[in-house]
Amino acid sequence: MRGGNRTETIQDLNANGSERDSTVKVTSADGSSKTIQYDHAGTGTVDLTQISTIVRNADGSSVTTQTDLNGDKSLRDETVTTLSADGLSKTTQYDNAGSGTFDLATTDVTVDNADGSQTETVTDRNADGSLLDQTTTWRGADGISRTIQADTTGNGQVDHVETIVVNSDGSTTDTVTDNNADGSLKDQAVTTTSATGLLTTTQTDSAGAGTFDQTRADARQDRDDLRFPSGWLARGPHRYHHECGPLDCCGDH
């Protein structure tokens, strides 16, 4: 250990005792930086170096940089993530090609609303700043209600919408709608789930005609409280009769 840094070396050996591969990890004393060097071929030459650093700013925000270098020290790729002090805003920039310029930037911003709900907007932008795609998600304070609006093509128009609504009887209705580029309906599916979760009905408009062309109902029974004909009641793996109890004491009914 030098200067407070911690160095960890891991070696894998072949059956004849020669080196198969090795990893050397150096972590700074305060944990703000870490460098990992890999020799995947066991040649004694580093073929990949990963460098991770965290800078904590005076306002409580932080910037994390993850850099991968090739064996010749040229840049393989890099990711820079900026996180706000409250954790509600994050910006991530990607240089996936190792060109020295960012080819993708993602912002993820969450707003806590006064009614206890949250609104999260995730935006992807190309290297020139143009919009790649964007998704806005509203989550209700009940933890179930949700609305998702997505522009999946980056043309500035919402083409995918999903809403989950809790109905007065405790059931939920999940509506998923896809639109064409001109805003017309492409397809839609509406799924209603009972309050118990035992009955699910899905209606589908696969052609965007405005009417459902397929309906499917899935029902399952609660195995812990399932009544059979002639008074039989199943609880777990055992069967009982409502008048005289366990199967063994009743004979046939």
Distance CA 105, CA 107 (A): 7
Q: Where is 249: in which H helix or E strand?
A: helix 247-250
pLDDT, residue 114, reads 97
**What tokens were used for 224?**
């812990």
CA 15 to chain centre: 42
Apex 45 CA angle, 41 and 51, nearest 5: 100
Of the candidates 145, 146, 215, 155, the one whose C-alpha atom is nearest the C-alpha of residue 180 is 155
pLDDT digit string (tens) for 46-105? Answer: 999 999 999 999 999 999 999 999 999 999 999 999 999 999 999 999 999 999 999 999
Place 235 in a pLDDT band, splitting at 50, 70 and 90: very low
pLDDT digit string (tens) for 152-192? Answer: 999 999 999 999 999 999 999 999 999 999 999 999 999 99
pLDDT digit string (tens) for 14-42? Answer: 999 999 999 999 999 999 999 999 999 99
Share of the chain above pLDDT 90, in %: 85
pLDDT, residue 3, reads 62
